[in-house]
Amino acid sequence: MEKIAVFPGSFDPITRGHVALVKRALPLFDKVIVAIGINSQKKYLFPLEQRIAWINATFADEPKVEVAHFEKLTAHFCERVGAKYLLRGLRNASDFDYEKTISQLNAAVSEGLETVFLISEPQYSHISSTIVREIIKGGGDARQFVPEEVEL
Ligand code: ADP
């Protein structure tokens, strides 16, 4: 059976940290679905279509990477696409605290759903979409933090 991992997030926008994580996960899985979760309560800086287009362009040469979007529960999306694994990155202790709870919740909602955590490489552990958005809002140049395909 195909080993499918879902990498869920907002990707507002995708960063070099996300890209490095997906590339490291590729040897572990047959397919990695980068899945944009849509929360109607949340305000995003970039429209969904733009975020999808950037992720598609970034992984254009990676046949094992797919891009998708979903509403509501991540665990249910995983069931729909036949994914038994969630992929998440850990940058620091606060990521760990948050991710631990979410991972246990997801396993409770969908039995057997395993979250695979990859510890961020040091050169990426300071990068977050939040920081990128703050730099953009402040009129700065955030291009060093995002893949070349993201045109800021
Ligand atoms: P969310 O809105 O769920 O926080 P993000 O798009 O910010 O989604 O991040 C999705 C996932 O990518 C999370 O697991 C996060 O820990 C991971 N991630 C984000 N930035 C990095 C990075 N620089 N290095 C490793 N993992 C990262």
Angle at 112 between CA 1 and CA 98, to 5 degrees: 120
55 in a structural domain: yes
Q: For residue 21, give the amino acid letter.
A: L
**Per-chain mean pLDDT for the chain:** 98
151 in a structural domain: no
The full DSSP string for 92-123 is: SHHHHHHHHHHHHHHHHHSTTPEEEEEEPPGG
Q: Tokens 């040469």 appear where?
A: 61
57 in a structural domain: yes
CA-nearest residue, atom 22 of ligand 1: 17
127 lines ligand 1 (CB under 6 A): yes
Indicate the DSSP class of residue 88: E
Distance from residue 35's CA to the centre of ligand 1 (Å): 12
Tell me the CATH number at 127.
Answer: 3.40.50.620
How confident is residue 48, by pLDDT bands cut at 50, 70 and 90?
very high
152 in a structural domain: no
Task: Ligand 1, residue 14: give the atom nearest the CA.
Answer: 6
Domain that holds residue 47: 4-145
12 in a structural domain: yes
Cβ atoms within 10 Å, residue 145: 20
The predicted model scores a pTM of 0.97
CA-nearest residue, atom 16 of ligand 1: 89
Distance from residue 113's CA to the centre of ligand 1 (Å): 19
Q: What is the pLDDT of residues 57-77, one digit of tens each?
A: 999 999 999 999 999 999 999
Q: What is the pLDDT of residues 98-139, one digit of tens each?
A: 999 999 999 999 999 999 999 999 999 999 999 999 999 999
Helix 74-81 / helix 93-109 crossing angle, nearest 10 deg: 60
Which residues are known to be catalytic? 18, 42, 91, 129
Distance from residue 37's CA to the centre of ligand 1 (Å): 12
Task: Ligand 1, residue 129: give the atom nearest the CA.
Answer: 7
47 exposure class (CB count in 10 Å sphere: 0-12, 13-18, 19+): exposed
Pairing of strands 114-119, 85-90: parallel
150 in a structural domain: no
Looking at the structure of the chain, the number of domains it has is: 1
CA–CA gap between residue 26 and residue 28 (Å, rounded): 5
